[in-house]
A and B are shown apart, each in its own frame.
Chain A
Amino acid sequence: MSEGPALTMADAVWTSAERFVEMTRLVATAPEAPVGQTPKETIWRKNKARLYRYVRATPATRRTPVVLILPLINRAYILDLRPGASFVEHLLAEGHEVFLLDWGIWAPEDRNIDITALVTRYIPRAVREASSVVDAPVTVLGYCIGGALAACYAALGRDEPIANLVLFTTPIDFADAGKFGLWTAKGVFPIDGIRDAYDVVPAGLIQYGAKLLNGPLADMGTFVQLAERMQAPGFDAEAWRSMFRWVNEPTPFPAAAYHQWITEFYQDNKLVRGSLKMDGRPVRLGSITVPFLNVAATADTIAPRPTTQAIMRKVGSADRDEILVEGGHVGIVVGRTAKRDLWPRVTDWLAEHDDR
């Protein structure tokens, strides 16, 4: 390779103009990146929510199926991002039947759907449906807000077909909820005004908060990193496109659910204090007695560590474990290292708790 004023071979391939065109192509085509490709069938539906059963090529070798409960503010395909980077695919490969509860995209007619409705009328029916299909109690696995809903459901559901409960980066104790806690504090955050102004809280408003957490230059940092990584050997453009698509495809939040989430969870911290009631019934974490696994991230800004660790003290399960992973809220669950650092540990735990 020649040195000096002549352009090197690498420069010839990667001139600035070419790189700029390639970056633009990646960003512009990200909304069409193929995602959620594992074959599935819809086995239950209610309003916008769908319960998918993933198609297995071979009979399940594990007795306990897994029901995935996703957050309300993101698309459900995050746990089945693309072949080779799909938690669903990993669970199937480990011999589980896998179900996923997709909340869909909320619309104005859903304005009065609150967290209580989701916990008492959506999740129980979906879980019972999954359980009846395979005739076995299930592992309920909730991610982020989905985890908080799953915990409430498990706390209320003494007679529900739950074999195990697993939470991924789930905020439970909001006494020290980081910047989100500060920004949504009583007297500061116009939560009533938001409910009055919107039927569904716009996805952009929620995404604004998430972006603010990472600082004003975070978006630019994404593109600076892309420009760097594009030159690296083995750069996976499809992986980048699918993740970029997911990050930029948030979903709106029903106004009543958002109001309850902010006031009863963030501001009043009722879940940990034991004063949360749903349909008149107290939601007590101590009532959760099934084997329990808590997965938390060390550098989580969305669900900071103080919010994720309290459940280990509060849950009533005698059999309880925790996996603490280096990384952030999304990265540890679906990032490049998740396949190595987290998924096998989770499926090992599930295997240990499979044949009860």
Chain B
Amino acid sequence: MTQRDEQQDPFVLWRQWYEANQNAWGKGVADATGTEAFAEMQGKMLESLVAFQKTMRDMSRAGLEALDLPTREDIARLGEIVLGLEEKIDQLPDRLARLERPPTRSGPRSAAKKKTAAKRR
């Protein structure tokens, strides 16, 4: 591409603008975001965001409850009950495996052996 074409190419201009800005304040921003002051400021912003989110959530829940409609929490709770059942079913093979597993040396079998040995003595 000739110099004249480059001057006409908006992508080249865009890249030059990006590089100039990235070099000029990219490092500054990177340094600033690595400070405790930034972390505190961001924490405050997040705090406001989550407080707003919680307020909206509480309001929508109150509204739905007033209308006798199931809330998001009701549906989530239902899902949790299903997950709890699934977990109980998943535990069955684990429990069966434990029951079928031969006892370890320190387990009942070795205890029984010790008893037998003691009787023989």
Residues of chain A in range 1-56 having any CB-CB distance to chain B below 8 Å: 3-5, 7-8, 10-11, 16, 19, 46-47
**Known contacts A109-B76, A215-B29; A16 and B36 CB within 8 A of each other:** no
> Is B14 a contact partner of A196 (Cβ separation < 8 A)?
no
Residues of chain A in range 104-120 having any CB-CB distance to chain B below 8 Å: 107-112
* Bound Cα distance A8, B5 (Å): 9
**Partner of B76 from A3, A190, A199 at Cβ < 8 Å:** A199
> Is A179 a contact partner of B34 (Cβ separation < 8 A)?
yes
> Is A4 a contact partner of B2 (Cβ separation < 8 A)?
yes
> Is A190 a contact partner of B11 (Cβ separation < 8 A)?
no
* Bound Cα distance A5, B5 (Å): 8
* Bound Cα distance A5, B4 (Å): 8
> Is A197 a contact partner of B57 (Cβ separation < 8 A)?
yes
User: Which residues of chain A come closer than 8 Å to B72, judged between CB atoms?
Assistant: 108, 199
Stretch in contact with the other chain, from A68-76, A220-228, A270-278:
A220-228
Q: Is A185 an interface residue (CB 8 A)?
A: yes
Residues of chain B in range 1-53 having any CB-CB distance to chain A below 8 Å: 1-2, 4-5, 9-11, 14-15, 18, 21-22, 26, 29-30, 33-36, 39-40, 42-43, 46-47, 50-51, 53
Q: Is B65 an interface residue (CB 8 A)?
A: no
Number of interface residues of A (CB under 8 A): 41
User: Which residues of chain B come closer than 8 Å to A216, judged between CB atoms?
Assistant: 29
> Is A109 a contact partner of B83 (Cβ separation < 8 A)?
yes
Q: Is B79 an interface residue (CB 8 A)?
A: yes
User: Which residues of chain A come closer than 8 Å to B10, judged between CB atoms?
Assistant: 16
Q: Is A318 an interface residue (CB 8 A)?
A: no
> Is A188 a contact partner of B11 (Cβ separation < 8 A)?
no
**Partner of A19 from B11, B54, B78 at Cβ < 8 Å:** B11
User: Which residues of chain A come closer than 8 Å to B21, judged between CB atoms?
Assistant: 217
**Known contacts A193-B50, A197-B50; A47 and B43 CB within 8 A of each other:** no
User: Which residues of chain A come closer than 8 Å to B50, judged between CB atoms?
Assistant: 190, 193-194, 196-198
Q: Is B68 an interface residue (CB 8 A)?
A: no
Q: Chain B's nearest CB lies how many Å from the CB of A106?
A: 11
Q: Is B90 an interface residue (CB 8 A)?
A: yes
> Is A190 a contact partner of B53 (Cβ separation < 8 A)?
no
> Is A183 a contact partner of B90 (Cβ separation < 8 A)?
no
User: Which residues of chain A come closer than 8 Å to B36, judged between CB atoms?
Assistant: 182, 188
**Partner of A190 from B4, B43, B79 at Cβ < 8 Å:** B43
Across the two chains, which residue of chain A brings its CB closest to B93? Answer: A125
**Partner of A7 from B5, B18, B33, B76 at Cβ < 8 Å:** B5
> Is A121 a contact partner of B87 (Cβ separation < 8 A)?
yes
Q: Is B117 an interface residue (CB 8 A)?
A: no
* Bound Cα distance A350, B72 (Å): 47
> Is B18 a contact partner of A217 (Cβ separation < 8 A)?
yes
Pairs A–B under 8 Å by Cβ, sample size 19:
A3-B2, A19-B11, A108-B75, A108-B76, A108-B79, A109-B75, A109-B79, A121-B90, A125-B90, A183-B39, A190-B43, A193-B51, A194-B46, A199-B72, A215-B29, A221-B22, A227-B14, A227-B15, A228-B15
**Which residues of B approach A to under 8 Å, CB–CB?**
1-2, 4-5, 9-11, 14-15, 18, 21-22, 26, 29-30, 33-36, 39-40, 42-43, 46-47, 50-51, 53-54, 57, 72-73, 75-80, 82-83, 86-87, 90, 94
Q: Top 6 nearest A-B pairs by Cβ distance?
A: A109-B79, A108-B76, A193-B50, A197-B50, A188-B43, A197-B53
